[in-house]
Chains A and B, each alone.
Chain A
């Protein structure tokens, strides 16, 4: 299994946290908030298509709203493989930061 890139990790986590509400607009806003920058749709969908190709996320076609002018949403959910990848990423992160005190870089 390949390691997740940072952006994939953030995205997967976002999808997992957003639960029932994980579609384009919401994911983008959530991620923008986390990274404190305006995350573009380009980066979002480029990464999402990679994730779904790796089978870390599943897609379901959802409803539409008047604002969307008839275009349906695509909802994303984290697949079991995705969850496993998230776990691995977390372990790696923890291992990486182990023993580094919170004040180390002050």
Chain B
């Protein structure tokens, strides 16, 4: 539904986006992640036809966002990051105005307005002036305006900005429900939100696409080493021996004794592994078993999307010319 083919965008000597390609299928909900100035907004503006790329092309449906811009824009519901609205207008009037910018019949417009008010929980404030609304309601009004013409593609830039935790949770649910019958591209800084909402993540850094995959796949492929925690009943006299046994397991790079308040307490070891051996739990269990120590738990804390994101950004920074 969205196809981005080798787009680049330069402003003089500054390269905002460089050779970015990806495509999003109908019904997918995709998160676009990246630090400030990474090129997310530029990418979104190219997709929504607001700016042309310096090179490459973007298509929505079968329509080029520049050559066939107006028809392409009819397919998109866009919530910009600034979510600027007309404060003097009432919510319902604003939605009516936005719906009239699209080629819809009176009945379609009426249905679209009611649907948008309903899905964005705006019924109670439909007759209030936008300028009098809280930030959360304004954000919902922007979202409703993006939905009012029932577009097959939704592009949402920071959709939960300014919302309280309850509203964030509700908006997350709304985006998920919207993604069931349309294509959604969400740009956000809030990583857990993307992880919970989207079934695919694109990470952009310094204008380049650095990672593309489902949150689970990204976590799995990026988690190439890490920490294990071993909790076992090890008498004080055997602690040194246990330390050596754990350190001797293939793939283990370091062992750190962490806690045991008394000699009879459960001992905690933090075990670091190398990139080639991401999971050494069997080896650790065997080593402790041979020592006769009772193992209560061997835990491998799973990586989060945030760790993946940080690793991508750090590796990108290392590659950056100094």
Chains A and B belong together in one complex: no
| A residues adjacent to B (C-beta < 8 A) | none
| B residues adjacent to A (C-beta < 8 A) | none
